[in-house]
Structure 1
Amino acid sequence: MGSAGSDELEVIHGWTGGDGEAAINALIEAFEENHGDIETNFEASGGEGNAQVNSVVQRRLTNSNPMSSFANWPGANLENYENGLMDIEADVWDAEGFKDTMQERAIDLCTYNDQMVAVPIGSHRMNNLFYNTAAFDEAGVDAEELGSVPDLIDALETIDEETEYTPFAHGMDAGFLGLQTFAQILTSQSGVDAYMDFIDGNGDRDAMLEALESLQEIRENYITDDASSIGYTEAAQYLISGDAACMHGGNWMYGMFREDDEFNYGEEWDWVPFPGTDGVYFYHVDAFIAVGDNPTPDDTIAWQQFVGSKEAQIAFNEPKGSVPLRTDIDSEELSEFLALNYEDLLESTDFPPTIAHGLAVSPRAKNDCEGVIANEFSGPYNAEAAVDGLLDAVSE
């Protein structure tokens, strides 16, 4: 591992396989082509939900052994690294004009304690329902007509009765998987304001209970038998292999799906906004965060400047399945699926921040919410206790 005073740019990230590995490798290659004079050390520290990256970074900072930069979520997640970050407003944001080219919400999320400490690299839209076209065709279900959670549950029942497909691929081995789907259901059934009230600590108990009951109905009746032991990567394989009909997830799924040459967008699979959330862009952001007491300040500035460039944003997001945060990208430089999502990023009116990926609530509240889902809502199900736990988690 690197150490303070090192001559090499050391960047830690959590993308160790699949779409993430392809994306970070493309970004590294592009950077090294532009900055061949900078010695680099890009270190992968895998684990779902950035858990391993958080652990490594916090340990390094505690031990006064900072890296140059690391990939993580901005927003409320930055509380994890309070007093350990580098203000790059003048040298990066102002010098490169990023305040004029980045989406305003991303600018706000990269600002912490009145300092700009990060540069966004891409955004995932969270409220997607991906589906196997053959399964929906066989069941006679038109995905475009699914306008609500009851519509979705009716469709899952039809698929269950009329086909051999598992209706809904869903991982449950980590609490954030159920938490993110709960957020979509709550927003669908009760509106964006109901979700925003919840993350602000003023949730409507009845609305939350209704959302959990819908999630329980899906989990009890329409998912695979091994759901409790798998994550979203394994769940996605059920869709790719033709064993499952649909799943909810962020648009990183596109990065996974495109790896299979026989599972093509618009042919074997397609997508719609999660039923009841049309016009909503459920907001997720990945960023690179600059570390204080930086061992390579000049090279770190060059890296952070590059991260925000058009070249970097296209190089990373195309294989990742995410979309650039710059507002001046030519959508023709993106694949069809990403171009559609990029247009939604620019044109949607509602951008609720994801609770499961560090943007919406403090790290402590996020972890507590995940614990509630894992402990009270992974079977057996206790919706009443789960509501109380979630409200307590965001209210402290």
Structure 2
Amino acid sequence: MSTDIDHVNDPDRRRYLKALAAIGAVGTTGIAGCLDEGNSSNGNKGGTLEVVHGWNSGDGKAAMEALKKAFDEEYPDVSTDYNGAGGDANSNLNTVIANRLQNNDLMGAFANWPGKHLERYKGALMNVEKDVWEEAGFKDTIHKATIEQCTFNDKMPAVPIGSHRMNNLFYNVQVFEEAGVDPKSLDSVDALISALKTIGQNTDAVPMTQAMSGPWTNLQLFAQILLSQSGVKAYTNFIDGNPDGKAIRSALKATKTILQNHIPDNASTLSMTEANEKIVNGSAGCVHQGNWLYGAYRKNDQVNYQKDWDWIPFPGTEGVYVFHLDSFVAPANNPTPKLTKQWLRFVGSKKAQITFNKNKGSVPLRTDVDPSKLPKYLQQMYEDLRSAKQLPPTIAHGLAVTPQTLTACEEAFRVNFMGPYKVEAAASDLESAVSN
């Protein structure tokens, strides 16, 4: 791992960029001007550290503001420019980053998902293993599963800032009590569907709220149901390109039952924020989402944990932590490599991890954090992460599959599973998506 970037003429890199052009992320077939980072560091006199991120609104805004303040207070002599490029599920951020790398308009660091998602930036990433991971001792203090996800093409271009758990079911306490539903009894998808029927019969609330302005939420729900019904092995086989057709169809049928019968009539127009508001105001019983929803609940003084809202692992996934990561990534040949490494060392520190995650609703990746410094809900998430024996990576958020595969999976849902719900067509397209 001695070189800082992938080879500039790697044919795989050109292939990935061509694929990105097809989905609107990059308009040409190469990233011009990507040289060895070691050459770019000569003569670095400081300059302004630019950090591009997608948290200029929504659940991440307060978290990013707190992180910026903490860094600027610790390093008052560093000139910084924090550039927000928000968008639904990172889509706008990904486009901004890819276009700027293509145009050699390089920033010091950018926020992104690591794992296989980094394929989209292949050939343009700095290796910070020695100067960040080893110098700061992160390999000994950051969760081992994270190390694997932040290693790409035998290099380490990223440092994680926080983890979201994906296999959650959040619920409105009053709605569940009125319906007579015991959340502890929900130990399977069948039990969940039965509870949704009960909520619909016994209350005026919609049983489950769902945002369907884009296909990723349905893909995400399907993934939890696949995991619940068929287990981690079937889930892992799916992301590894060996899908079990029977398991896929079973999960799609259950997903169809929920989406066709138990969600708002206007779900296709709802954003995630609008869908989640139904939990807050009591017009919906439950919602499946990542635990970034805690960031929204935390900001609302009208709702309190365990009194107004609560959560359980998605039914049938007890003991599993479906792994999602946010990270900061270092582009090679950027104008401020020393400041980039300084920023990344800070990102992995206890101070940064606690400051960011307690605001965002995510979980610190360091294993030496004092849980008492986190809110009560995040204390539970932190302990669950540390104790989990199985941490399958998320499909809908880039860790588990390449950008091309993720796009194909989303397309399978966009075409076949946004209503009406075509199980056989969606299953066939999903099998093709992960097998190619």
Task: Report if TM-score (shorter chain) is over 0.5.
Answer: yes
Q: Is 1:283 the equivalent of 2:323?
A: yes
Letter in 2 for 1:97: G
Residue 67 (1) aligns with residue 107 (2): yes
Looking at structure 2, the residues matched to 332 and 282 of structure 1 have their Cα atoms a distance apart, in angstroms, of 23
Task: Write the deviation string for residues 17-74 of structure 1: whole angstroms up to 9, x where unpaired.
Answer: 2320000000000000001111000011111111111101110111111111000000
- The question of whether the paired residues in 1 share the 8 Å contact of 2:243 and 2:435 is answered with no
The alpha carbon displacement at 1:246 in A equals 0.3
Matches within 5 A, 1:326-345: 326-345=366-385
Structure 2 match to 1:41: 81
The CA distance in 1 between the partners of 2:271 and 2:228, in whole Å, is 23
Amino acid at match of 2:117: N
- Give yes or no for the alignment of 1:292 onto 2:312: no
Unaligned runs of 5+ in 2: 1-39
Q: Deviations over 1:84-108 (max 9, x none)?
A: 0111111100110000001111011
Match in the other structure for 2:296? 256
> Contact 1:179–1:356 (CA<8 Å) still a contact in 2?
yes
Partner residue, 1:209: 249
TM-fit CA distance, 1:231: 2.5
Structure 2 distance, partners of 1:297, 1:315, is 24
Aligned partner of 1:335: which letter? P
**Contact persistence 1:128–1:273 (CA under 8 A):** yes
Distance 2:130 2:239 in 1: 32
Query: Could you tell me how far apart the structure 1 residues matched to 2:241 and 2:352 are?
Result: 37
Aligned residue runs from structure 1 range 1-396, under 5 A: 7-396=47-436
Counterparts of 2:148 and 2:324 in 1: how far apart (Å)?
13
CA distance, structure 2, for counterparts of residue 18 and residue 181 of structure 1: 21
1:50 and 1:371 map into 2 onto residues whose CA distance is 17
Q: Which is further off, 273-282 or 294-303? A: 294-303
Q: Which amino acid in the other structure matches residue 175 of structure 1?
A: P
- Give the aligned residue type for 1:311: K
The amino acid across from 1:15 in the alignment is W
- Structure 1 CA distance for aligned equivalents of residues 76 and 355 of structure 2: 17
Number of aligned positions between the proteins: 394
RMSD: 1.2
Q: Which amino acid aligns with 2:125?
A: L
* CA–CA separation in structure 2 for the residues paired with 1:13 and 1:133: 34
Local SS of the residue matching 1:112: coil
In 1, the alpha carbon distance for the partners of 2:68 and 2:146 equals: 22
Other structure's SS at 1:40 match:
strand
Unmatched segments (≥5 aa) in structure 1: none
Structure 1 residue 233 displacement after superposition: 1.5
The DSSP-based 3-state class of the residue aligned with 1:191 is helix
Conserved in 2, the CA contact under 8 Å of 1:248 and 1:274?
Answer: yes
- Alpha carbons 1:177, 1:231 under 8 Å: kept: no
Work out the CA distance in 2 between the residues paired with 1:202 and 1:114.
24
Q: What is the rounded CA distance, in whole Å, between the counterparts of 1:30 and 1:389 in structure 2?
A: 46
CA distance in 1, matches of 2:152, 2:237: 22
* Residues 335-357 of structure 1: CA deviation (Å, up to 9, x unaligned): 11000000000001110100000
Contact 2:169 2:313 in 1 (8 A): yes
Return the alpha-carbon distance in structure 1 between the equivalents of residues 204 and 64 of structure 2: 38
Contact 1:203-1:391 within 8 A present in 2 as well: yes
Residues 284 and 359 in structure 1, CA contact (< 8 A), matched pair in contact too? yes
Q: Deviations over 1:258-279 (max 9, x none)?
A: 1111111010000000000000
Query: Partners in 2 of 1:44 and 1:234 — Cα distance?
Result: 22
Tell me the amino acid that sits aligned with residue 329 of structure 1: V
Distance 1:207 1:89 in 2: 39
